[in-house]
């Protein structure tokens, strides 16, 4: 049975069930039919006898029979006997020996005589002046049995045909019902082969379990395709980012080995190598963090944090590097706004956002860091933090993509950008790991404002 398909198993089970039901129905027909034949024959015989009794009269010392008296009708025979059981009128069917059948008033009998089964009905009838006499009705069940046999014959032909039709119809219905399952399997195989990640089952709208399963698989395939594409893009971007510093390191080492004549020449080459190595180290660290994110390794060291104090501390630290470009960082962050979070991660969020603002702001610019509170419609409260600058801004076409890994706005930003393009992607991940959200508003040439929310400690 393990090698038989589910369609075949269900069809076989359905056919066996229909066969059992047909056999039960056939037996029921035989049982009920025989009883009905007997009851019908007996009822017709009794009615025949009673009707003809009314056509018997007594006149001039003898029994007389009207024109309506009929001693044979539709295979039923009628005989009239005196009290001594001598036949007065009528006839009996051939093969029926009336003398061997005792009279039994108002009772029907079923007996076998010769090769036939007979229904016999006797009744006594009284006439003034004559007294009582017997009236006997006899009928051979062969006529009714012939009708019943015809019914059995038809049933023996029709029921197998019904079973065959039901089996074929059931198979076609099951085959149609399992068609979506086959589509699911085919789509899964195509995706498993890796040849067509865009393949979908696409059954359309439906309310039964198969359609729900297919739509669930389609949603899963969407996520799989997105994940595969992201991983592919991630690998390509990481390879590209690592190729440049690697090439620089190799070329500088070769130059130093072949052309450096003084310690100063070698030192200059080593500085370049060190700079590129540090860049690679930063990139690798961020790649490892992203790998942990992809593996859902969001192990946060949760603690109660005053996010206003944290913003103040990071702003003061970043002011040192900002002062080199004559940029002022001001912070409006009241104390007492507590959140539950990982302090290191939240520090990195502020550091990345503020350092980005410093990097893309010109001399004499101003960066504003603010922390406030907000209450949602359901009554929960969140800390709202923002970093606003008046730098070069972000083109509108790039705003939705700045959260993508390795994505960097080109042209003017790339001129001064030695970053890996992973900072904002990491920021978004760290904020969402705390159950928060992050967004940006920006206008090219006028600056940007990054805003993120963190649920407050209850």
Q: Are 354 and 318 in contact (CB under 8 A)?
A: yes
Predicted local confidence at residue 411, as pLDDT: 44
Radius of gyration of the CA atoms of the chain, in A: 51
Cα torsion through 201, 204, 210, 213, rounded to 10: 60
Tokens 């971007």 sit on residue: 237
Q: Are 407 and 351 in contact (CB under 8 A)?
A: no
Tokens 């001594």 sit on residue: 84
Is residue 428 helix, strand or coil? helix
The token pair at 429 is 């991940």
Q: Are 178 and 26 in contact (CB under 8 A)?
A: no
Distance of CA 425 to the CA centre of its chain: 34
The token pair at 249 is 């390191």
Predicted local confidence at residue 437, as pLDDT: 92
Q: Among residues 165, 171, 225, 139, which one has the least CA distance to residue 22?
A: 165
Taking 50 as the pLDDT cut, the residues of the chain under it are: 296-297, 411-417
Q: How far apart are CA 311 and CA 333, in angstroms?
A: 7
Q: How far apart are CA 20 and CA 254, in angstroms?
A: 89
What are the tens digits of pLDDT across the range 188-209?
A: 777 676 666 677 777 667 666 7
Predicted local confidence at residue 87, as pLDDT: 83
Q: How far apart are CA 179 and CA 389, in angstroms?
A: 59
Predicted local confidence at residue 147, as pLDDT: 65
Phi/psi at 284 (nearest 5 deg)? -65, -40
The token pair at 32 is 């009920």
Is residue 14 helix, strand or coil? helix
With residue 357 as reference, give the H or E element that holds it: helix 343-359
The token pair at 200 is 């979908």
Predicted local confidence at residue 142, as pLDDT: 60
Predicted local confidence at residue 108, as pLDDT: 73
Q: Are 72 and 45 in contact (CB under 8 A)?
A: no
What DSSP string describes 79-130? EEE-TT--EEEE---TT--GGGS---BTEEEEEEETTEEEEEEEEEEEETTT
* Edge-to-edge strand ranges of the sheet holding 366-375: 328-332, 366-375, 381-389, 447-455, 437-443
Q: Are 265 and 271 in contact (CB under 8 A)?
A: no
Query: Counting every residue, how long is the chain?
Result: 458
Predicted local confidence at residue 416, as pLDDT: 42
Is residue 68 helix, strand or coil? coil
């Amino acid at each position: 049975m393990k090698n038989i398909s589910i369609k075949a198993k269900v069809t076989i089970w359905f056919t066996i069930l229909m066969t059992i039901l047909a056999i039960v129905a056939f037996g029921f027909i035989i049982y009920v039919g025989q009883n009905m034949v007997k009851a019908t024959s007996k009822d017709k015989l009794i009615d025949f006898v009673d009707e003809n009794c009314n056509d018997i009269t007594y006149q001039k010392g003898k029994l007389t029979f009207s024109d309506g008296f009929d001693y044979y009708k539709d295979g039923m025979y009628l005989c009239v006997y005196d009290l001594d059981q001598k036949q007065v009128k009528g006839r009996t069917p051939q093969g029926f020996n009336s003398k061997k059948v005792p009279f039994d008033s108002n009772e029907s009998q079923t007996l076998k005589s010769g090769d036939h089964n007979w229904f016999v009905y006797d009744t006594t009838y009284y006439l003034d002046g004559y007294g009582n006499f017997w009236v006997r009705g006899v009928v051979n069940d062969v006529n009714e049995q012939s009708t019943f046999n015809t019914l059995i014959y038809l049933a023996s032909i029709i029921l197998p045909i019904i079973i065959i039709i039901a089996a074929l119809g059931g198979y076609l219905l099951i085959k149609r019902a399992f068609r979506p399952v086959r589509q699911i399997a085919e789509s899964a195989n195509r995706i498993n082969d890796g040849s067509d990640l865009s393949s979908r089952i696409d059954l359309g709208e439906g309310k039964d379990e198969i359609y729900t399963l297919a739509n669930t698989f389609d949603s899963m395939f969407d996520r799989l395709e997105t994940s595969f594409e992201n991983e592919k893009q991630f690998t390509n971007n990481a390879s590209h980012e690592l190729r440049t510093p690697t090439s620089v390191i190799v070329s500088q080492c070769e130059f130093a080995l072949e052309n450096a004549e003084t310690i100063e020449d070698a030192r200059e080459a080593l500085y370049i190598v060190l700079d590129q190595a540090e860049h690679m180290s930063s990139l690798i660290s961020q790649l490892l963090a992203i790998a942990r994110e992809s593996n859902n390794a969001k192990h946060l060291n949760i603690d109660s944090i005053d996010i206003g104090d944290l913003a103040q501390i990071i702003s003061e630290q970043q002011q040192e590097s900002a002062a080199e470009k004559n940029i002022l960082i001001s912070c409006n962050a009241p104390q007492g706004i507590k959140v539950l979070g990982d302090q290191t991660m939240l520090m990195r969020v502020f550091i990345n956002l503020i350092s980005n603002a410093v990097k893309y702001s010109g001399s004499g610019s101003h960066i504003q860091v603010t922390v406030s509170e907000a209450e949602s419609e359901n009554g929960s409260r969140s800390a709202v933090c923002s970093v606003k600058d008046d730098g070069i801004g972000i083109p509108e076409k790039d705003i939705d993509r700045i959260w993508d890994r390795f994505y960097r706005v080109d042209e003017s930003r790339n001129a001064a950008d030695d970053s890996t393009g992973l900072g904002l992607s990491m920021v978004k991940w760290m904020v969402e790991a705390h159950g928060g959200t992050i967004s940006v508003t920006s206008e090219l040439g006028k600056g940007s404002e990054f805003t993120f929310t963190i649920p407050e400690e209850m």
